[in-house]
């Protein structure tokens, strides 16, 4: 799987202009959460990028948009917003 992803990134982001095999340095001892944590703690990890889905904020208590009853669209008056887009306008939060 990682080899396939590496080739996709190399092609799309022009990391390697030729069709040669892309050399990848192995950085994880194991491809598990524990393996990633170990690498992050090793001091070799310089940057971390996390790709997540739209629902990650709901676990932190931030309401989603569509859920009946609890979603932002159903609770505009509770948040005193004239439209859902106002949630992203800092002017509504500076009073």
Domain map (residue ranges) of the chain: 56-93
Burial letters 41-78, b for 16+ CB under 10 A, else e: eeeeeeeeeeeeeeeeeeeeeebeeeeeeeebeeeeee
Note whether 60 and 54 are within 8 A (CB). no
Task: Check residue 16 and give its pLDDT.
Answer: 57
Helix, strand, coil shares of the chain, percent, nearest 5, are 40, 0, 60
pLDDT string in tens for the chain (95-residue length): 667 777 776 776 666 555 556 677 788 888 888 988 999 999 988 888 888 877 787 777 777 888 888 787 888 888 777 887 887 888 877 76
Note whether 87 and 72 are within 8 A (CB). yes
Task: Check residue 17 and give its pLDDT.
Answer: 53
Task: Check residue 42 and give its pLDDT.
Answer: 92
Task: Check residue 45 and give its pLDDT.
Answer: 86
């Amino acid at each position: 799987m990682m080899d396939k992803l590496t080739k996709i990134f190399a092609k799309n982001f022009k990391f390697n202009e030729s069709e040669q095999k892309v050399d990848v340095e192995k950085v994880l001892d194991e491809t598990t959460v524990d393996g990633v944590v170990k690498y992050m703690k090793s001091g070799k990890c310089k940057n971390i990028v996390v790709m997540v889905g739209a629902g990650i904020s709901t676990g932190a208590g931030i309401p989603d948009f569509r859920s009946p009853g609890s979603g932002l669209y159903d609770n505009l008056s509770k948040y005193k917003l004239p439209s859902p887009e106002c949630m992203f306008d800092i002017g509504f939060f500076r009073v």
